Amino acid sequence: MKLETYDKTQSIDFFLPERFNKIGLNVSGGLDSAFLLWLIIKFLKDNNRTDTEIVVVTIGQNDYGKRHWNSIVSAKVIDKVLRMHDPNVNNGHLNGKQSIVSTHFTYYRTSQDKTQANSMEPRLFDIGLIDIIMSGKTANPPGDIDELLDGRDITRDLGNRGNDQIEYGKTYGKTKSAYYTPFVNVDKRFIADQYKKFNLMDDLFPVTRSCERLGEPEGKIFTTEEDFFANSCKAEECWWCKERYWAFGRY
Ligand SMILES: [Zn+2]
């Protein structure tokens, strides 16, 4: 399935072989993973892949007094994507058919200790819950965009990022781990064009959240939970707000 930007300067070839039927997907609540969830379900439906489950993984984060907002936004994203693909998904008349997203797995960790986070995916392979991990990670904007240099994640830079093909890792239990990051070499402008091409701007876009700031150690930015969910910080120091605006022209 070929996807490209309107100007055809960025493209990917999206494909998931049939041997993978238990997909672990990291959903952050942001634009990229929300689109990937929507795209995987479209791909499975288009190809009549009714044997495939998606296990959505998100993090119940409790760092620096932050609330577990990723899982709240992710749950909204999952609900929206399911309703968009199947308007009857939540009304109990599925005639015995289960929703394609079988599990919303919220992984809770009590600290920033990376060893804890990194131990989770191998365990999911080990118990046979998943056979591939997919991620919506995208490339950084081009290096000549000065205002998007400070604060970026350098693992998304050219030369540091991996490739966009399926890669195999270690074997855990009976499962050989596999990883697929289809958007790793296209940037947020590619994602923006897909939202427009597939008509996702009015329904999916508004439930996603890119802003990463909330209760910072030095003081509150959002005064209430309602304030937080209704707004982004739009601040100079919030890289994710700036990238969203750069690609989509709005927050
Ligand atoms: Zn922000």
Q: Residue-wise pLDDT tens for the chain (251 aa)?
A: 999 999 999 999 999 999 999 999 989 899 999 999 999 999 988 898 878 889 888 876 655 445 567 788 888 999 899 889 876 655 555 555 555 555 566 666 555 555 555 678 888 999 999 999 999 999 999 988 889 999 899 999 999 998 999 999 999 999 999 999 999 999 999 999 999 999 999 999 999 999 887 756 556 788 777 888 888 888 888 999 999 999 999 99
Residue 233 CA to ligand 1 center (angstroms) comes to 4
Residue 134 CA to ligand 1 center (angstroms) comes to 25
Residue 251 CA to ligand 1 center (angstroms) comes to 9
Contact by Cβ (8 Å): 80, 38? no
The sign of the CA dihedral 184, 190, 192, 198 is negative
**Could you identify the residue written with the tokens 């797995």?**
105
Residue 164 CA to ligand 1 center (angstroms) comes to 28
Residue 211 CA to ligand 1 center (angstroms) comes to 4
Residue 244 CA to ligand 1 center (angstroms) comes to 9
Residue 221 CA to ligand 1 center (angstroms) comes to 10
Residue 96 CA to ligand 1 center (angstroms) comes to 42
Query: Distances from the Cα of 53 to the Cαs of 23, 137, 161, 193, in angstroms?
Result: 6, 21, 28, 27
Domain boundaries, the chain: 19-248
Q: Which CATH number fits domain 19-248: 3.40.50, 3.30.750, 3.30.70, 2.40.50?
A: 3.40.50
Residue 195 CA to ligand 1 center (angstroms) comes to 21
Residue 54 CA to ligand 1 center (angstroms) comes to 29
Please enumerate in sequence order all residues whose Cβ is within 8 A of that of 42, keeping only pairs 6 or more positions apart, or say none.
85
Q: What pLDDT score does 58 carry?
A: 82
Q: What is the pLDDT of residues 157-215, one digit of tens each?
A: 999 998 999 999 999 999 999 999 999 999 999 999 999 999 999 999 999 999 887 75
**Could you identify the residue written with the tokens 């990883």?**
179
Residue 242 CA to ligand 1 center (angstroms) comes to 8
Residue 229 CA to ligand 1 center (angstroms) comes to 12
